[in-house]
Amino acid sequence: MDLTKKTVLFLCTGNSARSILAEAILNNLGQGRFLAYSAGSKPTGAPHPLALEQLESHGIDTGFASSKSWDIFAGPAAPNLDIIFTVCDSAAAEICPYWPGHPMTAHWGIPDPAATLGALAQRQAAFVTAYASLTARIQAFLALDIDSVSPAALKSELIKIGQDTK
């Protein structure tokens, strides 16, 4: 990989919670080194209100947030992707579109906060937990010197982050 800005795509099934959180966190913490996007295999059509609430509680503007299909990132007009992270187990198991440029992929499974039932406080707590888990993984990712390691070593590190950082 070269020293230019890296483009990262976070995938989830619904693109309403985890992937949108991850997109926002990386764009916020990445200090211009990365351009993050999110998408879903079966987008819900709108970001989850509690995902937006969680981002706003951290001072992150949510104007970017939309639930969209991963198909827009597989077409000829799509940005050139460097890395794709799946953040839910079902998206990781699905047959993905052809990704132009053959980006590196890794799985960072996070429990779906949108699937949490119960009182509002319980559902909000699930989003706090998802945000914290994604933030820890993204901070570990940002600590990597991705421009100076081999692709194989980077892939290994990305997988390790997904397994170790909870």
Catalogue the active-site residues: 12, 88, 96
Give me the residues paired with residue 8 across strands: 36, 83
Please state, in angstroms and rounded to a whole number, the distance separating the CA atoms of residues 157 and 104. 12
Cβ contacts of 105 within 8 Å, gap of 6 or more: 83, 84, 85, 86
CB 165 within 8 A of CB 136: yes
Please state, in angstroms and rounded to a whole number, the distance separating the CA atoms of residues 124 and 121. 5
H helices of the chain, in order, are 18-29, 49-57, 89-93, 120-143, 151-164
Please state, in angstroms and rounded to a whole number, the distance separating the CA atoms of residues 156 and 160. 6
CB neighbourhood size of 150 (10 A): 9
Please state, in angstroms and rounded to a whole number, the distance separating the CA atoms of residues 34 and 26. 7
